[in-house]
Amino acid sequence: MLYREAGDFKTTYAADSQTFPIAFDRWRYWAVLAVAWLVIPFVIDDYWANAILVPFLIYSIAAIGLNILTGYCGQVSLGTGGFMAVGAYSVYKLMTAFPDVSMLIHVVLAGFITAAVGAAFGLPSLRIKGFYLAVATLAAQFFLVWLFNKVPWFYNYSASGQISAPERFVGGIAVTGAGTAPAAQYLICLFFVTLCALLARNLTRGSVGRKWMAIRDMDIAAEIIGVNPLTAKLSAFAVSSFFIGIAGALFFAVYLGAVEVGEAFGIQKSFLVLFMCIIGGLGSIFGSFAGAAFLVLLPVALKVLGVDLLGWPSSTVAHLQLVAVGALIMFFLIKEPHGLAQLWRIAKEKLRLWPFPY
């Protein structure tokens, strides 16, 4: 009986158009933030940080970025892995060139560099769309991976071709390097997730987001009513790449510590983030979190069930994971194109009306 609108009166336009119109949703939102910021950092350990929470937070940022481009603006992209590599190599060059600058500034600057690269590769969207745009972004993926492999300047002429994150501190606490505490890894990722989610939510609810959605629904009609397709599409590519660049920077510097571009940011990474958006729900910020959580928890759950409990070979469980993800993608594309976010919305509508049928 808590999930009700009765008695929750709106007296201003701002209250009437707020993100969470029901009081219980607002309490739940603040409770989740309180647990995330005030409880989890004190109980987290290496396993929870490296296996679940840190990859979930990083992939959530990447999924939000791709959802802005594909879900809100309707521009298909298969270059997410390449743009994450731009963020990773940008933050690496910044960390080694300016060791006295804060790590937080490095990550943000890496996002801006990735935004510029993404906007440049988004120029073909002014003339092509759909399958042809997907192929163009796929070309960007392969080109960027080739570039970071073949130009030694990007990895500081290392003999191995890998890049390794040097130790850096924020407020006297190490956030990169071998000696980083799990709580520090978690908190720096949570900081950027919170900022990116708030920024994305406000952008998509404002005039910029309405322009993106107008382009997505029908670009010719949007242009007729005054939406400039040049600025709308390129801004979507830039904002999307900004978030993806931040995710790539955190993925390298905070999570992995050392990467080789072909292994860490190959085409499989682009498809993984795209699958997160499809399963979670296109055009939904919550769907980005839901899809990231689902695909981060799925391998862990299958390993516990298949290897630990049933004694199956790990190779069998790995193949079963691919089958499960493929089946889920087909299911959501056919039965529920808006993904887990739509199922969550339906469940909330049922709760609002319960016990009445309508």
Q: What is the mean pLDDT of residues 327-336?
A: 86
Mean pLDDT computed over every residue of the chain: 90
**Residue 163, phi then psi, degrees to nearest 5:** -120, 140
* CB contact at 8 A, 265 and 162: no
CA atoms within 13 A on the CB side of 190: 19
> What's the whole-model pTM score?
0.94
Kind plus residue range of the DSSP H or E element containing 174: strand 173-174
Q: What is the pLDDT of residue 158?
A: 86
* Residue carrying structure tokens 């908190």: 187
Q: Are strands 173-174 and 163-164 parallel, antiparallel or unpaired?
A: unpaired
Residue whose C-alpha is closest to residue 139's, from 230, 249, 267: 267
Digit-coded pLDDT (tens) for 113-167: 999 999 999 999 888 888 899 999 999 999 999 999 999 999 988 888 899 999 9
Which secondary structure element, helix H or strand E, spans residue 142, and what is its range?
Answer: helix 131-150
Report the pLDDT averaged over residues 108-114.
Answer: 97
One-letter amino acid at 172 equals: G
- Alpha carbon distance 91, 85 (integer Å): 10
pLDDT at res. 25: 82
267, 105 Cβ separation under 8 angstroms: no
Taking residues 84-110, report their average pLDDT: 94
Contact 287, 340 (CB under 8 A): yes
CA distance 7 to 26: 15
Pick from 77-81, 237-241, 280-284, 344-348: least confident: 344-348
Confidence at residue 336, expressed as pLDDT on a 0 to 100 scale: 85
Count of C-beta atoms within a 10 Å radius of residue 98: 12
Beta bridge partners of 174: 169
Q: Provide the pLDDT for residue 358.
A: 61
Taken in order of first residue, the domains within the chain and their CATH numbers are: 44-353 (1.10.3470)
Confidence of residue 338 (pLDDT cuts 50, 70, 90): confident
b/e map 142-162, b = 16+ CB within 10 Å = eebbeebeeeeebbeeeeeee
**Residue-wise pLDDT tens digits, 219-273:** 899 999 999 999 999 999 999 999 999 999 999 999 999 999 988 999 999 999 9
pLDDT exceeds cutoff 60 at 1: no
User: How many Cβ atoms are within 10 Å of 269's Cβ, its own excluded?
Assistant: 23
Tell me the Ramachandran region of residue 8: left when phi exceeds 0, alpha when psi lies from -120 to 50, beta otherwise.
beta
pLDDT digits (tens, 9 = 90+) for 194-231: 999 999 999 999 999 999 999 999 989 999 999 999 99
pLDDT top residue among 25 and 216? 216
- 46-75 confidence digits (pLDDT tens): 999 999 999 999 999 999 999 999 999 999
Q: What are phi and psi of 258, to 5 degrees?
A: -150, 135
The closest alpha carbon to 57, from 276, 259, 260, belongs to 276
Question: Is omega for the bond preceding 355 within 30 degrees of 0, making it cis?
Answer: yes
Burial track 302-335 (b if 16+ CB lie within 10 A, e otherwise): bbeebeeeeeeeeeebeeebeeebeebbeebeee
β-pair partners for 164:
258
Give the contacts of 186 (CB within 8 A, at least 6 positions apart).
Answer: 40, 41, 44, 49, 53, 54, 57
Tokens of 130: 């759909």
